[in-house]
Amino acid sequence: MTLEQQIAQKLMLDLRYFGATSATRTPMRTLPTELAALIADTGLGGVILFAENLQDPEQILTLTDDLQLAAAASNSGIPLLISVDQEGGRVCRTPRSFTTAFAGNMALGATDERHGDGLTLACAAAMAAELSALGLNVNHAPCVDVNNNPDNPVINVRAFGDDPDLVARLGEAQVLGLEEAGVVATLKHFPGHGDTCVDSHTGLPRVDHDRSRLDKVELKPFADIIARQPPGMVMTAHVQFPALDSTELVGRDGKPVLVPATMSRAIITDLLRGQLGYQGVVITDAMDMGGISDYFEPLEAVIQAFAAGVDIALMPLRVRCPEDLQRLPALIAGVAAAVADGRLCSQALSASAQRILDLKWRFKLGNRRASRAQRLQWAESVLGCEQHRLLEQQLAQASITQVGAASVCLPPAGSWLLLLPELAQGQALASALRRFGDSSLQILVLSPRHHEDNVIRAAMATSDVVIGGYVSPRQSVAELGGMDDLARLTEQQLIRAHDPLRLKGLMKEARETGKWVVHLSLRAPYDCRIFAKEAHWMLASYAYHLDQTSPPHSASFDALARVLLGQATPQGSLPLKEVL
């Protein structure tokens, strides 16, 4: 390969939107001729797809096929890495209407005491089977960050828990389940994003622990998994670790910036490759995230990452319209110039490109012997199949965890008021309660986001049971999709609704007037400490996502309904040490 072809292999673009202008938000669901030509002309190494790109099985298969055909038309003919973020829980890019949406990592962590790594392995294999059937060959999972910071805004429930050994065991099982089914796994976010209180989408987090502590906690899952079940990829974290590297770089404003792990040779080459012995492909987290883009120009960020020893730069630039097409050749030329002037080593770059090729050949990415019609038939038999749906329900039921005091026996009849963050969530729980419960049970659904306190108080007055639900912390950019979604997090209505003290006050009033009060922790269960005095009973589900059905449905709300009605006992165990 030429130098330019090697560089192109080291780039992975997001093709989320493509339209007339750079401000377009038109989802790219069919491959435009301009993008096909760009892939063929440059020999691009990979792409990442988002929910907007994925509509139905035939459309997805056509898109992934066309992407591979464009890659095959390049001079090198090397197949593409076609990746997706499919962690489970809130980070699930494929449509929930026809694919299986397993609860996320913390739900799996809650099942460990009874099930070990069995459910984790089974869910990963099922997830990989569905991704592979759609032509997706890389999953940016598992997240093996150790979430030991209750205020972590971006990892929290995406972690298996706060015990490094638990995270390592379940992370290893997830790597095995994905890769045995033919999908490349990605350990993330190295060397650890669990003990941060800043989201690297919006800032540059810093972890100040010493090396001894990092070895015991943050680094341990990565070290253990690399030693026992090395994954195809490891993803870097846009996080500063002064104990690992105190080097400073010059930022875009001319001021010094402590090097983030993504750009640190001491962390990527010396630690990850040298000390931990990882020989696979290292990929950055998205380079358009604030932790990088706020401090460095795109070309400089890519050069620094490659100099650190990174193999693939993920989302180094945006291609949203025909006018943007020249950005990719310009980036490739800029990296080539850095090789020419000695900032990058040509031998190291060549070895990096070879690691990427070795990964592609290992997973046989170029093999497509069946016709599209045959593969569509196969996909429709695998996607959301009965076996996977049963596994989804088994995980949801096994993960429901009682937090704190002993369970109570709620009255099976009378009037129950559901106060969940969104009306659709309340409707999903109400639907499950009606399906499984007594026909005389009356259920009213309200939401603090959509109803004023006086309306809620009037409903509480005529209710026997008040069930409040809360999502903490509120969803992050990573769960919505990426930096294009940043504005959605600042909606004032959403911020106002996300006020625990408001719900706490309502639940306190309900308890003082003799109502049975239940708190449902629908995400990271750290919120239980807020509602512990108000609730007679607290349950954690670690998940609140809904299938795209009408009426709304969710395996997690089905599981909660069975427990609330006394038809099932909470089987899960808290995968976090300090919740109350």
DSSP string, 513-567: TT-EEEEEE-S-GGGHHHHTTT-SEEEE-S----BS-SS-B-HHHHHHHHHHTTS
CA pair distance 178, 233, nearest whole angstrom: 12
pLDDT of the residue at 367: 73
E strand or H helix at 395, and its extent? helix 386-399
| pLDDT tens readout for residues 509-524 | 999 999 999 999 999 9
Specify whether the CB–CB gap between 317 and 276 falls below 8 A. Answer: no
CA 364 centroid distance within chain: 26
Can you name the CATH fold of 400-564? Answer: Rossmann fold (3.40.50)
Residue 412 banded pLDDT, cuts 50, 70, 90: confident
- Higher pLDDT: 105 or 547? It is 105
Local confidence band at 413 (pLDDT 50, 70, 90 cut-offs): confident
Would you say the pTM of this structure is higher than 0.85? yes
> How sure is the predictor about 100, in pLDDT bands with cuts at 50, 70 and 90?
very high
* Reported confidence tier of residue 143, pLDDT bands at 50, 70, 90: very high
DSSP symbols for 440-464: T-EEEEE-TTTS-HHHHHHHHHT-S
Which CB contacts under 8 angstroms, 24+ apart, belong to 575-578? 575/106, 575/109, 575/110, 575/112, 575/160, 575/161, 575/162, 575/163, 575/166, 576/106, 576/147, 576/161, 576/162, 576/524, 576/525, 576/526, 577/162, 577/163, 578/150, 578/162
The span from the CA of 222 to the CA of 237, in Å, is 13
- The CA-based diameter of the chain, rounded to the nearest angstrom, is 78
pLDDT given at position 480: 57
Among the listed ranges 14-23, 36-45, 466-475, which one has the minimum average pLDDT value? 466-475
Could you read off the pLDDT of 350-405 as tens digits, one per residue? 999 999 999 999 999 977 778 889 999 999 999 999 999 999 999 999 999 999 97
Decide which of 162 and 479 is more confident. 162
The pLDDT value recorded for residue 199 is 73
Distance CA 420, CA 168 (A): 34
Cis peptide before 191 (omega within 30 of 0): yes
Helix (H, G, I), strand (E, B) or coil at 222: helix
pLDDT at residue 492, rounded to an integer: 43
Please state the domain extents for the chain.
3-382, 400-564
Catalytic positions: 285
- Residue 466: both structure tokens together: 């008040």
Strands (E) located in 201-293 = 233-236, 248-250, 256-258, 281-283
Query: What pLDDT band is residue 25 in, cutting at 50, 70 and 90?
Result: confident
Name, of 212-216, 436-440, 471-475, the range with top average pLDDT.
212-216
**Contact by Cβ (8 Å): 446, 417:** yes
Predicted confidence at residue 491, as pLDDT, reads 46
Q: Is the pLDDT of residue 484 over 70?
A: no
d(CA 290, CA 287): 8
Specify the pLDDT at position 494: 46
pLDDT at 457 over 60: yes
Spatial CA neighbour of 567 closest among 437, 445, 398, 399: 437
Give me the percent of the chain exceeding a pLDDT of 90: 83
- 8 Å CB contact between 281 and 235: no
Q: How many other C-beta atoms can be found within 10 angstroms of the C-beta atom of residue 344?
A: 20
Q: Which residues contact 439 (CB under 8 A, 6 or more apart)?
A: none
* Residues making up the chain, counted from first to last: 580
- The reported pLDDT for the residue numbered 310 is 98
Q: Of 490 and 415, which is predicted with more confidence?
A: 415
Q: Which tens digits make up the pLDDT trace of 541-569?
A: 999 988 877 778 899 999 999 999 999 99
Tell me how far apart the alpha carbons of residues 188 and 362 are, in angstroms, rounded to a whole number: 21
Is 443 a residue whose pLDDT tops 50? yes
Residue 425 CB burial class (10 angstroms; 0-12, 13-18, ≥19): buried
Question: 3-class DSSP state for residue 467?
Answer: strand
pLDDT per residue as tens digits for the range 308-335: 999 999 999 999 999 999 999 999 999 9
- Distance between CA atoms of 445 and 177, rounded to whole angstroms? 39
Residue with tokens 């039921």: 397
Per-residue pLDDT at 208: 95
pLDDT recorded at residue 543? 93
- Phi/psi of residue 186, nearest 5 degrees: -130, 110
Beta-carbon neighbour count of residue 5 at 10 Å? 18
Higher pLDDT, 196 or 214: 214
State the average pLDDT over residues 251-275.
96
pLDDT of residue 478: 54
- The yes-or-no verdict on residue 274 having pLDDT over 50 is yes
Check for a shared fold between 3-382 and 400-564: no
Quote the crossing angle between the two packed helices 386-399 and 555-564, to the nearest 10°. 50
Instruction: Return the amino acid letter for 46.
Output: G
Locate 453 and state its tokens: 């306190």
Q: How confident is the model at residue 483 (pLDDT cuts 50, 70, 90)?
A: low
Question: How confident is the prediction for the chain on average, in pLDDT?
Answer: 93
DSSP 8-state secondary structure symbol assigned to residue 55: -
Sign of CA dihedral 190, 275, 312, 23: positive
Fold (CATH) for 3-382: TIM Barrel (3.20.20)
Q: What are phi and psi of 474, to 5 degrees?
A: -65, 160
- Residue 196 or residue 346, greater confidence: 346
**Integer-rounded Cα radius of gyration of the chain:** 24
- DSSP E strands in 263-333: the ranges are 281-283, 313-314
- Average pLDDT, integer, range 492-503: 65
What does the pLDDT read at residue 315?
A: 97
